[in-house]
Structure 1
Amino acid sequence: MTINFEYETDIKLAFDYEDIMTKVVNEAIDYEDCPYEIELNVILTDNEMIREINQAHRDIDKPTDVLSFPMIDYNEPSNFDVVEDAVEEFFNLDSGELMLGDIIISVEKVIEQAENYGHSELRELAFLTAHSMLHLFGYDHMVDEERVVMEKKQEEILKNLSILR
């Protein structure tokens, strides 16, 4: 597994974010039975940069906590059949890893939301990572039925890692 981390803000977290995110990514991969080694890009940034990206890609001119950019357009969530017919499109041919996509997280939102929800910054970062990984596996939360499924999976991933509220 390759996770390419970029930390593009002066706002610091008081824990090893790479370690926590790697554990959540691994748990999400196992939880969703992904049969491949994966490659993933992660950017931790500030509210201004994520606002710009949100504006450019979603036409929403405000900061958000996390943005997910999946490389795979699944027929159904975590069904990897689609990638097997297009190896050149979905796999890094040098490493053989499945290119899962990109995660962008606002460190400012991690800190703000942890305080608002009354839990640790570590737990908030872990939650946003699990949430984003599920998006990269094709899940969404646009309708209630999807939202319930996604919320249950997020909580189970974190519970498996003993990262609780």
Structure 2
Amino acid sequence: MSLFIETEGKEEFDFDIREIAELVVNAVLEHEKCPYETEISLLLTHNDEIHEMNLEHRGIDRATDVLSFPMLDFDHPGDFSIIDEETADVFDPESGELMLGDIVISVDKVLEQAQEYGHSPKREYAFLIAHSMLHLCGYDHMDDEERKVMEEKQRAIMEKINILR
């Protein structure tokens, strides 16, 4: 697995951002039984920048905690059998890894929400990566049924890596 992390400025975390990101990404890929080596990009930014991205890409004029930019369109969430290795343009030609997509997280929101929800910034950061990774694997939460499936998967992943509230 290749995880490319880019940060904009000083991060205010007391944990290793790469170590936690890799832990969560690997847990999600294992949970979803992804049969491929993968490539994911993670950008840690701030409210002003994610606000601009949210407006540009989703038409929502406010900062958000996390944005997900999947490379694949799944017929069914987590069904990696849709990928034809011979013809798919979602494999990096140099590494051969499946390019799952990009994750953008607001550091400001991580800190705000950790305080608001009464848990650590590490837990909030890990949760947002798990949430976004599930989006990269085709999951969504547009209706109650989808939301319940995603919430259960998030809970199971967070328990597996033992990063709890």
CA distance in 1, matches of 2:82, 2:38: 15
Q: Which residue matches 2:54? A: 54
Is residue 151 of structure 2 the alignment partner of residue 146 of structure 1? no
Q: Which residue of 2 aligns with 1:124?
A: 124
The verdict on how the C-alpha distance between 1:20 and 1:87 changes in structure 2, with shifts beyond 3 A counting, is: farther
- Quote the Cα distance in structure 1 between the aligned partners of 2:39 and 2:135: 15
Structure 1 residue 88, shift from structure 2 partner:
4.4
**TM superposition score normalised by structure 2:** 0.97
SS of structure 2 residue aligned to 1:39: strand
With over 3 angstroms needed to count, the CA separation of the structure-2 counterparts of 1:82 and 1:17, relative to structure 1, is same
> Aligned with 1:159: secondary structure?
helix
Corresponding residue of 2:71: 71
Asked if the contact 1:3/1:41 (under 8 Å) is kept, the reply is yes
Gaps of 5+ in 1: none
Secondary structure in 2 aligned to 1:89? coil
1:119-155 Cα distance to aligned partner (Å, 9 max, x none): 0000000000000000000000000000000000001
Query: Over aligned residue pairs, what C-alpha RMSD do you find?
Result: 1.1
Query: Identical aligned pairs, as a percentage?
Result: 53
Q: Secondary structure at the match of 1:90?
A: coil
* 1:12, distance to aligned residue in structure 2 (A): 2.0
Specify the SS of the correspondent of 1:99: strand
In 1, the alpha carbon distance for the partners of 2:73 and 2:86 equals: 12
- The 3-state SS of whatever aligns with 2:83 is helix
Mean Cα deviation higher: 45-54 or 82-91: 82-91
Q: Deviations over 1:21-78 (max 9, x none)?
A: 1100000000000000000000000000000000000011100000000000001011
Instruction: Please state whether the residue corresponding to 2:4 is helix, strand or coil.
Output: strand
Residue in 2 aligned with 1:160? 160
1:1-165 correspondence to structure 2 within 5 Å? 1-84=1-84, 87-165=87-165
Q: Deviations over 1:100-136 (max 9, x none)?
A: 0000000000000000000000000000000000000
1:40–1:102 CA contact under 8 A, matched in 2? yes
Q: What is the alpha-carbon distance in structure 2 between the residues aligned to residue 83 and residue 95 of structure 1?
A: 17
1:83-113 per-residue CA deviation (whole Å, 9 max, x = no partner) reads 2156441100111100000000000000000
Q: Give the TM-score taking structure 1 as reference length.
A: 0.97
Size of the aligned set, in residue pairs, is: 165
AA aligned opposite 2:5: F
SS of the aligned residue for 2:129 comes to helix
